[in-house]
Structure 1
Amino acid sequence: MGKLETERLLLVEYNLDWIKATIAGVDELERVSGYEVSRDWPGIDFFFYLPYVLENVKKEPEMTKWTHLIVLKEENKVIGEIGGQGKPEETGEIELGYSIVPAYQNNGYVTEALAELLVWLKKQPEIKRIFARSFESNPHSIQVLRKSGFLYQPKYDKTEARGKIVLWEYPMDEENL
């Protein structure tokens, strides 16, 4: 797939070499990718998830097509990530997640990136279900999901140590395909 483009952003496939470079450090990712990288990226949650991603991608390199770095074109800078987890090739389902570094939040970047990603995902024949989870205490994420057409699924709420998690589903009816 390579990359998707919006008015302000590039969504660039997060490949194996870039994952390894990120684990080695932001300077290494800049060298390997050719993009400047925000010093606040990756966030702590995503950074600790990377070794798991690396091991999975080593086994199944095609999985990189589901996760993208968000590059602000104006600055040629990585400011976040967006993508899916799971094995859509087997299950038909993809769970989306995203993050923008604090200095770039509240500018509509995630909404813009998610809109473009959804257009692309709906063209993938293996995708039958798109969903996302969010902490109930994260109004910004919930606002992005609502704006993007996701529907709240209250019967799937669950509570974890960090708070209540709510499920959002993207309607995959003919009108949205």
Structure 2
Amino acid sequence: MDKHQRRELVGSVAAQFDLSADVTYRDLARQVGTVWSNHTGHRVTVRFARLPNEHITGATAVLADGSFLVICVDSQGWHFRLQVLLHEFAHQLLGHKYITLDKRAGLNLLMPNVLPRMAEFIATRTEFSQAEEAEAETVADELLAALTENRSPTQPVPPGTSDNLSRLRETLEH
């Protein structure tokens, strides 16, 4: 996918999000499943869980009925979760192939007591190449920028706040 095609894809997907002035990173993260579902015509279930491996931040599988199960780490802030979800969504947007789980495995994934082990199972079974991972990360980064670059801080900056302090606050909000 060249830069022009990627820019068109990112623009069309970003247009499907509610980007009102008061939208938060949490709101955007929660919208990913809906936009993804609208894009594919299949149900998308997002679960946040503590994942047993610090190198695994997210994983996606297609269940036998065509629906998607997305597992995202819950130990970071919402800006980070949004990035992880957009990365997972980018794989779908780019046509990368997920593993498919049978009905029993899918049901096990939805049970909270086995979720972390199954999340690791999914993540270790993905077949994405380094090139596909890099491509998905690029699309996710561009989507994140399109969704968040013009956001103002969630709380108004008090009058008289220095530029340095304003930039520090914005950085910490991310």
- TM-score of the superposed pair, with normalisation by structure 2: 0.28
Larger radius of gyration: 2
Which structure would you say has the larger RCO, counting Cα contacts within 8 Å and 6 or more residues apart? 2
